Copies of this chain bind each other. A is one copy, B any other.
Amino acid sequence: MSRKQMVRPGGRSARVQASVHSAVRELLAEVGRDALTVPMVAQRAEVTPSTIYRRWGDLTELLSDVAVERLRPEGEPEDHGDLRADLTAWAEQFLDEMGSGSGRAYIRDALLGDPDGGNAGRCSAYAAEQIDTILSRASGRGENTPALEETMDGIVAPIMYRILFRPAGLETAYARRLVADLLDAYEESAR
């Protein structure tokens, strides 16, 4: 079970997490990842290093935690009035954000310091929630939609796979094509 679930909002534990996370974000910007150390973070966050080791285990787990927070979507996906437009806009933005230099760094951090896989699961859950919102909205309009898992496999998985394993020449057009292929195949099969 991930440490985050032990955090009581508003409690001391939540305040410590907030100050440690912002100390990491500040120091990443100031000194960079390679120079970052737990004592440095502890000093900036005004906690003891042992507080950090106790809660996060080590620096890579702390960086993973901070990365997942940065990968959390900022709001609901935009509503463009139909499923194809909504998914296309979302997939383009997802590829641009995740495929950017900082996006890749956060994904790597999230995966690396993640012994129990909980942080990687949170990244995936963020994408699933956004797509679920888009699909539910479309059903609400009376549109037929592919299933959530099918959409994750058809759009999210290929984008993340390429970002991690084959980043060369990854372009927004790729996201558009994935959405078109998924929906064309779905409509074909629904006929």
Using a CB–CB cutoff of 8 Å, the interface residues on chain A facing chain B are 108, 111-112, 117, 120-121, 123-124, 150, 152-153, 156-158, 160-162, 164-168, 178, 181, 184-185, 188-189
Contacts and interface: CB of A to CB of B under 8 A. Distances in A.
Contact of A185 (B117, B120, B123, B185): B185
Given A153-B158, A157-B157, A185-B185, A164 B166 contact: no
A161 B165 contact: no
Given A111-B108, A112-B112, A188-B189, A161 B157 contact: yes
B157 A111 contact: no
B189 A185 contact: yes
Closest 3 A-B residue pairs measured CB to CB? A157-B161, A124-B165, A185-B185
Contacts of A121: 165-166, 168
A123 to B, nearest CB: 6
13 contacts: A108-B112, A111-B111, A111-B112, A111-B164, A117-B167, A120-B165, A121-B166, A123-B165, A124-B166, A150-B181, A153-B158, A157-B157, A185-B188
